[in-house]
């Protein structure tokens, strides 16, 4: 059975677009039925509308707590019978209740090799630190910051002459390749979790 996917995004939504394109071209074994944002100006919402996907914005400033905000989101996800939540540049920490309710059903992409350079500026932080190798991580989400079990990582070299913009471009290219791959693994029930270790079944 095809999975019902919700994508959460706060901004530009290039990863959302990569998922939509991959699904149209190769199939994810899932349908992106909802795009959610905490930011009414997120371009991701426009991308959803253009692709005839339901686009929902909820204003977090209208809720007295993160817990209340997330409760309402959970209700919506349950109504929509969502099997998988894909965070794609969703710059808002999830509540414990959310993480628990969708345990092992939330994915996130981070633009660095976790556990290095957590937080909202993974690319710039790695660049400024001067590491020679950085990369992209896709992981399950728990209640911590960029801390859940890692599914897939791919390295990106930082050349001495790279500008931060050039590095950003290299990172995004890798993101747009490995995020759809991972979502497909999930939708095909090919991810086996054992504590912090994740095995991808039948990986070529």
Report, as residue numbers or ranges, the catalytic residues: 110
Q: Is 48 helix (H, G, I), strand (E, B) or coil?
A: helix
Give the footprint of ligand GAR on residues 60-99 (CB under 6 A). Answer: 88-89
Toward ligand GAR, which CB reaches closer, 13 or 148?
13
Least Cβ distance, residue 148 to ligand GAR (angstroms): 12
CB 168 within 8 A of CB 123: yes
Burial of 200 (0-12, 13-18, 19+ CB in 10 A): middle
Toward ligand GAR, which CB reaches closer, 120 or 194?
120
User: Is 5 near ligand GAR (CB under 6 A)?
Assistant: no
Toward ligand GAR, which CB reaches closer, 79 or 165?
165
Binding segment (CB under 6 A) for ligand GAR, from list 29-37, 75-83, 93-101, 103-111 = 103-111
Toward ligand GAR, which CB reaches closer, 68 or 120?
120
How many Cα atoms are found within 13 Å in the side-chain-facing hemisphere of 171? 26
Burial of 49 (0-12, 13-18, 19+ CB in 10 A): exposed
DSSP string, 61-98: GGSSSHHHHHHHHHHHHHHTT-SEEEESS--SPPPHHH
| Contact track, ligand GAR, 123-152, x by CB under 6 A | -----------------------x------
Q: How far apart are CA 74 and CA 82, in angstroms?
A: 10
The contact set with ligand GAR (CB under 6 A) reads 9, 11-15, 88-89, 109-111, 120, 122, 146, 175
């Amino acid at each position: 059975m095809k999975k019902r996917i919700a994508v959460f995004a706060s901004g530009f939504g290039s990863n959302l677009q990569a998922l939509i394109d991959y699904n149209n071209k190769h199939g994810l074994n899932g349908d992106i039925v909802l795009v959610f944002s905490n930011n009414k100006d997120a371009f991701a919402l426009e991308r959803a509308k253009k692709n005839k996907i339901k686009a929902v914005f909820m204003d977090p400033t209208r809720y007295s707590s993160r817990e209340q905000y997330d409760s309402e989101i959970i209700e919506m996800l349950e109504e929509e019978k969502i099997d998988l939540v894909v965070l794609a540049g969703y710059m808002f920490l999830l509540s414990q209740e959310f993480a628990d309710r969708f345990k092992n059903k939330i994915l996130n992409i981070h633009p660095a090799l976790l556990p290095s350079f957590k937080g909202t500026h993974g690319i710039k932080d790695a660049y400024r630190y001067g590491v020679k190798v950085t990369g992209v991580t896709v992981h399950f989400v728990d209640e911590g910051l960029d801390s859940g079990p890692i599914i897939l990582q791919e390295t990106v070299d930082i050349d001495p002459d790279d500008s931060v913009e050039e590095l950003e471009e290299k990172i995004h290219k890798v993101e747009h390749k490995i995020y759809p791959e991972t979502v497909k693994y999930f939708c095909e029930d090919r991810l086996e979790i054992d504590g912090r270790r994740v095995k991808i079944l039948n990986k070529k």
